[in-house]
Amino acid sequence: MPSNIVVRRIRGLINHLRKITDTALDRNPAGRNLTVLPGDVFIVSYPKSGNTWTRFLVGNLIYQDEPITFANVESRLPSLYVHPDRKLRKLPRILKSHDCFDPRYRTVIYIVRDPRDVLVSAYHYAVKLGIVPENWGVEKFVPALLDGSFESGVLVNPRWGSWHDNTASWLAMKDSRKFLLLRYEDMLDDPERELIKVADFLGLEATPERLARAVKLSSADHMRELEKTQAAEWSLTKNTRPDMAFVRKARAGTWKAELPPQTVADIEAAWGPLMRTLGYELSAAPPERDELPVVLR
């Protein structure tokens, strides 16, 4: 038997055994198999839309003892994709999720971001993760991400859907559950104003001092400083390129300089109506007919 087949068989066996022990010891991240408990709060977004920043803001408003850091965020506002269900049962239940609509989620804070910026950010994160093929610029990466030919369990997951599926699935279901929509761009514009919305939504105490503290402890500058010393401790940055930052520009509109016009046109052609409803101005002429279903308008 050729040695490469032997190696492949052994690797397959090791993978199988790992799956068994992970399952037996309940070590698989909860993800979609999460046991949803009454009272759970979900911070949901498509990846690269400000979810981590929101977790810092909310966490720093809730916890007055010590600031949120990359080292403690997963035990205070944990992600579904880091801890197994068993462990999540013992942790505070404000949970980060990227899943498409899940009817079991009863209280949802949904963060939406201009998909053109999301895709730029996704590109840089993919490079940091080392999963972008050699010589691929953003102009090759984005179309591959859009047509589904680029697959990666970290950044792209079939169960998260496209930006459009993710966003539309939650917006369509907003009036049958407790739902708060946040726009990343509004948060950048005035983080305190948006954090007050969250505080009202969750019934948190939001004195001006507490708000100012939370915003300061969650600023991009502060988070960059934390990342410098804690990147190796956090699951999303561990084993990624240390020369590239997770907390990148934290700005709106960088797509204008970074995305080729054709890519922008493709994104707008695919998702234009939903983008416009969310206040993201299109660079091309808007389609003549608004084809959005009523619940999304």
Partner 1 sequence: MQSRHSSLQRLGAALAQAGRVLTGRQIAGRGLTVFPDDIFLVSYPRSGNTWTRFLLGNLINQSDPVRFSNVESRIPEIYFNRDRFLRQLQRPRMLKSHESFQPEYPRVIYIVRDPRDVAVSFYHHNVKARNISDDYPIASFVPRFIAGEFDRKFGSWRDNVLSWTVLRKGDPGFLLLRYEDMKRDPVVSLTGVVDFLERCSFRKIDSSAAALERAIELSSAERMRTLEKQDAGLWVLTKGTRSDKPFVRSATAGGWKSQLDGESVAAIESAWGELMQTLGYELASTAAAADKLSQRGLPS
Binding site for partner 1 (CB under 8 A): 19-21, 23-26, 32-33, 36, 86, 100-104, 158-162, 165-166, 168-169, 172-176, 291, 293-297
Query: What is the rounded CA–CA span in Å between residue 19 and residue 23?
Result: 6
Indicate the residue among 90 and 135 with the shorter CB distance to partner 1.
Answer: 90
Phi-psi region of 26 (alpha: psi -120 to 50; beta: other; left: phi over 0): left
Strands (E), 68-167: 94-97, 107-112
- Nearest approach in angstroms of CB 288 to partner 1 is 16
Per DSSP bridges, beta strands 41-45 and 178-183 are: unpaired
Query: What is the rounded CA–CA span in Å between residue 273 and residue 42?
Result: 26
Indicate the residue among 232 and 295 with the shorter CB distance to partner 1.
Answer: 295
Task: Name beta bridge partners: 115.
Answer: none
The H or E element that residue 122 is part of is helix 115-129
- Nearest approach in angstroms of CB 26 to partner 1 is 5
Indicate the residue among 20 and 284 with the shorter CB distance to partner 1.
Answer: 20
- Nearest approach in angstroms of CB 248 to partner 1 is 26
- Nearest approach in angstroms of CB 297 to partner 1 is 6
Indicate the residue among 85 and 266 with the shorter CB distance to partner 1.
Answer: 85
Task: Name beta bridge partners: 84.
Answer: 29
Indicate the residue among 53 and 280 with the shorter CB distance to partner 1.
Answer: 280
- Nearest approach in angstroms of CB 117 to partner 1 is 21
Q: Which two tokens stand for residue 140?
A: 């090759």
Which positions ≥6 away from 29 have C-beta within 8 Å?
80, 81, 82, 83, 84
